[in-house]
């Protein structure tokens, strides 16, 4: 019963994470193209995420919050540092640099790369095992999302903005593995707080000492606030989901997020999509649902109960 409850909770958190990531594709795209510098926007976004999370953590944990921070062991601090500079530092930086030259859909599409690499790293370092049919759906989603991105049956080269986003995706894939390890020592809320704290610290240092953006950092828009709030929801839900599901399945559900971004780009930015892209998007959604069902059956099979 507890195993099934954890699976349902983890799946719920993962879908909240997926929807918020899909919304971030459009919010960050608009914000990055309506700011003085995408680096400034990314710094503000992570900083606001940290503020929102501090408020949430205080309300969620209350007095236990301070005590839990005091009791964080040294190995956990090292993992939190790596998660922060990789997931909310370098990943966010390269994502926003790429968004000025790529579509929000492609930025969210990078989740396919993140999930693929996360799955490989989890198999190597965390010894996670998944049924073969899971990997089949996984492969179909990767191919389908490629066609969603380019909109035709052809091989396409990555533009500079796309390359920035892919580089960021590699950083966050490694951060996902560090996150799974960190959850052995700390709660999901503390993990997320460490992620935003060290990420914001890295971006702030680069902003002040490398680009000298001191005055510009004080001016912000509604988009940086919205981005910060969504990243808070996104990262917190992800921390809870990997605690319940494991990092591979939690990251796999996120591969549906580009479809959410596509719908928002169509309705808000009036971006058009052809029949191939729409069909491929439907394939992604169907395979994503089947992946969850497949994992559930494997988890609750007689051999695992």
> In whole angstroms, what is the distance from residue 161 CA to residue 100 CA?
7
Would you tell me the crossing angle of helices 257-268 and 132-150 to the nearest 10 degrees?
A: 20
Query: pLDDT over 70 for what percent of the chain?
Result: 86
Virtual torsion, Cα 133, 135, 140, 144, nearest 10 deg:
140
Confidence band, pLDDT 50/70/90 cuts, at residue 248: confident
Stretch 182-209: mean pLDDT, rounded?
Answer: 90
pLDDT value for 117: 80
Domain boundaries, the chain: 2-304
- Is 113 a residue whose pLDDT tops 60? yes
Confidence band, pLDDT 50/70/90 cuts, at residue 231: very high
Confidence band, pLDDT 50/70/90 cuts, at residue 281: confident
pLDDT value for 303: 58
- Is 255 a residue whose pLDDT tops 80? no
* Among 21-25, 145-149, 180-184, 284-288, the least confident range: 145-149
> In whole angstroms, what is the distance from residue 119 CA to residue 176 CA?
10
> In whole angstroms, what is the distance from residue 198 CA to residue 204 CA?
10
Instruction: Give every CB contact of residue 304 below 8 A, 6+ residues apart in sequence.
Output: 298
Residue, of 190 and 255, whose pLDDT is higher: 190
- Is 133 a residue whose pLDDT tops 90? no
Q: Which of 233, 238, 236 is nearest to 249 (CA)?
A: 238
């Amino acid at each position: 019963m507890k195993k099934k409850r954890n699976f349902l909770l983890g799946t719920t958190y993962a879908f909240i994470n997926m929807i918020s990531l899909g919304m971030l594709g459009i919010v960050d795209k608009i914000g990055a193209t309506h700011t003085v510098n995408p680096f400034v926007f990314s710094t503000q976004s992570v900083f606001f995420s940290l503020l929102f999370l501090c408020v949430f953590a205080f309300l969620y944990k209350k007095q236990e919050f301070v005590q839990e921070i005091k009791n964080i062991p040294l190995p956990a601090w090292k993992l939190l540092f790596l998660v922060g500079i990789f997931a909310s530092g370098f990943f966010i930086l390269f994502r926003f640099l790429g968004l000025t030259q790529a579509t929000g859909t492609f930025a969210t599409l990078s989740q396919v790369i993140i999930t693929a690499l996360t799955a490989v790293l989890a198999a190597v370092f965390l010894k996670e095992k998944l049924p073969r049919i899971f990997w089949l759906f996984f492969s179909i989603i990767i191919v389908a999302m490629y066609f969603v991105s380019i909109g035709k049956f052809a091989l396409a080269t990555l533009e500079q903005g796309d390359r920035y986003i892919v580089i960021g995706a590699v950083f966050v894939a490694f951060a996902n593995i560090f996150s799974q390890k960190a959850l052995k020592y700390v709660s999901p809320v503390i993990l997320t707080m460490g992620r935003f704290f060290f990420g914001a610290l890295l971006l702030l240092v680069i902003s002040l000492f490398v680009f000298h953006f001191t005055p510009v950092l004080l001016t912000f828009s509604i988009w940086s606030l919205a981005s910060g709030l969504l990243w808070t929801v996104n990262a917190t839900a992800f921390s809870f989901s990997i605690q319940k599901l494991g990092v591979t399945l939690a990251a796999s559900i996120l591969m549906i997020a580009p479809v959410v971004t596509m719908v928002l780009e169509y309705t808000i930015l009036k971006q058009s999509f052809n029949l191939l892209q729409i069909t491929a998007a439907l394939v992604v959604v169907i395979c994503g649902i089947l992946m969850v069902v497949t994992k559930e059956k494997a988890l609750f099979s007689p051999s695992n109960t």
